[in-house]
Amino acid sequence: MIDRHFLRQNPKTVKASLVDRGDDPGKVDQFLVLDRQWRDDLKKVELLRREKNQLSAGSKPNATQLRQAKAIAKQEGVLTKRISALESELEEILLSIPNLIDESVPRGAGESANKVIKTVGRPSVKSGLAHHELMTQLGWLDLKTAAHCSGSRFRYLLGDAAVAHWRLMSEALTLARKRGFSPVIPPSVTRYLTLQGAGFFPTYKEDVFKLENEDRYLTGTSEQTLLALSAAKHYLPDELPVRYVGFSTCYRREAGSYGKDVEGMFRQHQFDKVELVSVTRPEDSAKELDYLVQTQEQFVKLLALPYQLVSVGSGDLGQSASKKIDIETWFPSQQRYRETHSASNCTDYQARRLNIKLKRSDPQSEFAHTLNATLATERLLIAAVENSQRSDGSVKLPKLLR
């Protein structure tokens, strides 16, 4: 959530950020109108309470004073109710406004502004069969049975692919620990407020599976529950950064991706993921983003996969991200690079919602910065499969996954 005081004082800046994201700048005007009314009503209530206190001061009130006090109480009740309604409307608007975009982010609609920073490695397999074709004929993947018992976008990983999957996740966790991240296996079920605090609700509510008749949801990434470990905490400067690496099974409805990547494992309702989360001092978050990306690159290089590093444009950023860097790995079957990793600097956007603060030596405290990054998902496994295929349809996986 952005700072409402900043929004009052810098409406043009917030509007420009919304426009660059392809969002509605009218939210700012709507907020300012309601905010002005809210503050005016608060002043009116304060004046009424002073007047009421003056009437009750001193000797026993007479009939006229009692009538005045009753009228004041009625006015105060009406205003208090309106203030409560205004607060709800203001919070709804604030929750819908995404993070401010970092100055270094390329501007443009959708993916059009995404900028390739560098390309690493050359594809040795220029084209070939898709991962699901290779894996099915090798007995490594059963999509048919998964569709029968669970529905579309689910999978059975079998044999060597199952082993490779475990190795992939294990090696990612090992690297993360070497890089200073504390391992966590978090819950895969959480509550509305956790998802709201992480910046996913209400914007991405349609992409989340909900347990019927309960305030419980299946997590789409362990980022959400890893951040909850720091909620309402006040850190001293020398306690940061805090770094977590989480392994979890993730669930996504993929509500906005109808017709996209319908074959194979590229876009699934259920998948396993190793996620990195950092909490830092504000002045260190830019450097921490570099550290996260370096960790991701180190892991992709262990698999000898060709990839490109991409600075994500303003129209393709997530709600919480101020800046986002993607790794896109080469997929021979598509003859193009596809996203396998993301790393985001969310500045104080999530910390403000979750009340994660930094307490310096002076009496004032400030909000910390939070960041997140993908280290391994099954997309990386299928990229390894496609890039390890031979002309006869066999696959020799990287040694790390065997």
4-96: CATH topology: Helix Hairpins (1.10.287)
CA–CA dist 250, 244 (Å, integer): 17
Question: Would strands 357-359 and 234-235 be described as parallel, antiparallel, or unpaired?
Answer: parallel
The residue type found at 245 is: V
Domain boundaries, the chain: 4-96, 111-401
User: Residue 283, Cβ neighbours under 10 Å: how many?
Assistant: 9
pLDDT score of 258: 58
- Read off the pLDDT of residues 144-172 as tens digits, 9 standing for 90 and up: 999 999 999 999 999 999 999 999 999 99
pLDDT score of 189: 97
For residue 200, count CB atoms less than 10 angstroms from its CB and return exposed for 0-12, middle for 13-18, buried for 19 or more.
buried
Instruction: Give strand pairing partners of 336.
Output: 331
pLDDT score of 259: 60
For residue 352, count CB atoms less than 10 angstroms from its CB and return exposed for 0-12, middle for 13-18, buried for 19 or more.
buried
CB burial string 208-225: b at 16+ within 10 A, e below: beeeeeeeebbbbbbbbb
| Residue among 73, 88, 360 nearest 240 (CA) | 360
pLDDT score of 256: 61
Decide: 197 and 226 in contact? Cβ < 8 Å.
Answer: no
User: Residue 400, Cβ neighbours under 10 Å: how many?
Assistant: 15
Collapsed DSSP state (helix, strand, coil) of residue 223 = helix
Q: Across the 402 residues of the chain, what is the mean pLDDT of every consecutive 10-residue run?
A: 95 97 97 97 93 78 82 93 97 97 94 95 96 97 97 96 98 98 98 96 95 97 97 96 98 74 88 98 98 98 98 96 98 97 98 96 88 97 98 95 94
Collapsed DSSP state (helix, strand, coil) of residue 143 = helix
DSSP assignment of 90-129: HHHHHHHSPPPPPTTSPP-STTTT-EEEEEES--S--S--
Q: Which sequence positions are flagged as catalytic?
A: 252, 267, 339, 342, 379
User: Residue 313, Cβ neighbours under 10 Å: how many?
Assistant: 22
Residue 99 token pair: 């993070």
Q: What is the DSSP letter of 182?
A: E
pLDDT score of 63: 82
pLDDT score of 74: 93
pTM over 0.75: yes
pLDDT score of 52: 83
| Residue among 364, 366, 362 nearest 347 (CA) | 366
**Distances from the Cα of 265 to the Cαs of 42, 134, 333, in angstroms?**
54, 12, 13
| Residue among 151, 253, 248 nearest 200 (CA) | 253
CA–CA dist 4, 13 (Å, integer): 13
111-401: CATH topology: BirA Bifunctional Protein; domain 2 (3.30.930)
Decide: 109 and 210 in contact? Cβ < 8 Å.
Answer: no
pLDDT score of 82: 96
Collapsed DSSP state (helix, strand, coil) of residue 202 = coil
